[in-house]
Amino acid sequence: EAGVAQSPRYKIIEKRQSVAFWCNPISGHATLYWYQQILGQGPKLLIQFQNNGVVDDSQLPKDRFSAERLKGVDSTLKIQPAKLEDSAVYLCASSQKQGNTEAFFGQGTRLTVV
């Protein structure tokens, strides 16, 4: 089956600019996650969607980060304005349901803020 697709793969922006990442989960997967992975650290959950509703966004810096999953399929994550500390790999993952089924990860978008 096709995996989780993310774009772009790489993005370089200046601080205070805005950026958006896109994720297309595996077909039929109801649950979608965005993780942030800073260099040298493990991934950190930013937001979890169940279909098009937010289940958990407690770790999302809502003053600058936003995410949506219209129609319960694709999702976008936006940063506005970006800070230097936002430089990281942004990973999207999906799973069939909210229970402990396997999460499948995309290849990630590497963001560099200069």
Partner 1 sequence: AQRVTQPEKLLSVFKGAPVELKCNYSYSGSPELFWYVQYSRQRLQLLLRHISRESIKGFTADLNKGETSFHLKKPFAQEEDSAMYYCALSPKAAGNKLTFGGGTRVLVKP
What residue ranges bind partner 1 (CB under 8 A)?
3-4, 31, 33, 35, 40-45, 48, 55-56, 91, 93, 95, 97-108
Q: How far is the CB of 105 from partner 1 (least distance, A)?
A: 4
Nearer to partner 1, 63 or 102 (CB): 102
Query: Cα dihedral angle (81, 84, 85, 86), rounded to 10 degrees?
Result: 50
Rounded CA gap, 32 and 50, in Å?
A: 7
DSSP bridge pairs for 7: 22
Rounded CA gap, 86 and 101, in Å?
A: 29
Nearer to partner 1, 75 or 95 (CB): 95
Nearer to partner 1, 33 or 82 (CB): 33
Q: How far is the CB of 108 from partner 1 (least distance, A)?
A: 7
Q: How far is the CB of 114 from partner 1 (least distance, A)?
A: 24
Q: How far is the CB of 81 from partner 1 (least distance, A)?
A: 27
Q: Is 20 exposed, middle or buried (0-12, 13-18, 19+ CB in 10 A)?
A: middle
Nearer to partner 1, 61 or 81 (CB): 61
Three-state secondary-structure class, residue 91 = strand
